Amino acid sequence: NSYAGVVVPTGNKPQGHLMFEPIFGNNHHFGLMLGNNLGFELIHHGDHKVEMEWDTNSRFLFYNYQVRSYDLIDKAWSRYLSVYSNKTAAQAAATAQDANSGTAGINIFTGCFKVSPRFSFNLNNAYLYTHSCGFSAEVGYNFYSRQAEELKLKDTKFNSAAIESVVGEGFTNPYRTIRNNLVPVDVAVADYQAIQLSDINIDSASHPAVLSNILYATVAYDRVWYCFPVFVSVGGSYEFSSVNTALHRWMAWGKFGFSF
């Protein structure tokens, strides 16, 4: 079988209101998909049968606009630094000698992006053994890959914010961490150093590329017990990757069911 279809944008997309925002679906992207399913009977001898299954699915998701938060270049998690929203705010802090006058960076380092997820591909190759007595087993390999998101700021007008020094009082310091100034030289309001558009790390707001490999196996048994179909199965899998954007994990599962 071969098929083609569309991916309908349901669910929701990031709005930038919550730190850990629940997202359902694929960030409300419209897309196209193409795939195929192939099956071959390799061995059929008496009560024994061995088959091979090959399934692929490719998707391309089109861009939409989402609210994302970002960091500054070479400043991991700088979106949570304290900043002055503009020079006027820094001058007010200097006049009042206020050490806690800045605003949370997340309120500044959040904007509307054009987000393009682009291409993803999923492949599953499985070998299945069945016996007429009701016993079956399956071993397989699954491969998933996805391109990194491509992002572009919708509004390129930056708002002249600056990183607040640890001491506050209108001083800025572009070399600080959450708790300390890396370079103990604060900049006074008169020499206010605003963050430039070139300081933004766009990649910090995007999802990186994904490569995932899964090996799995499962065994099952089903039979009719006093006119009631019953089945039981157990299995396990191991997921691994050459990059740190996919899980490295073992998994085990079991299922039991009956019909009446």
Q: How far is CA 149 from CA 116, 146, 233, in A?
A: 6, 9, 38
Please say if the pLDDT value at position 246 is more than 80: yes
Please say if the pLDDT value at position 15 is more than 90: no
Question: Average pLDDT in the 209-231 region?
Answer: 92
Please say if the pLDDT value at position 122 is more than 90: yes
Scan for tokens 């987000």, then name that residue. Answer: 115
Summarize pLDDT for 154-207 with one digit per residue, the tens. 876 667 899 998 888 899 988 888 777 777 778 898 889 889 888 999 999 999
* Whole-number Å distance between alpha carbons of 241 and 246: 6
What b/e readout covers 218-236, taking b as 16+ CB neighbours within 10 angstroms? bebebeeeeeeebeebebe
Please say if the pLDDT value at position 228 is more than 90: no
Q: Looking at residue 8, what is its pLDDT?
A: 94
pLDDT-derived band at 57, boundaries 50, 70, 90? very high
SS3 199: helix
Question: Average pLDDT in the 214-241 region?
Answer: 93
* Whole-number Å distance between alpha carbons of 23 and 10: 11
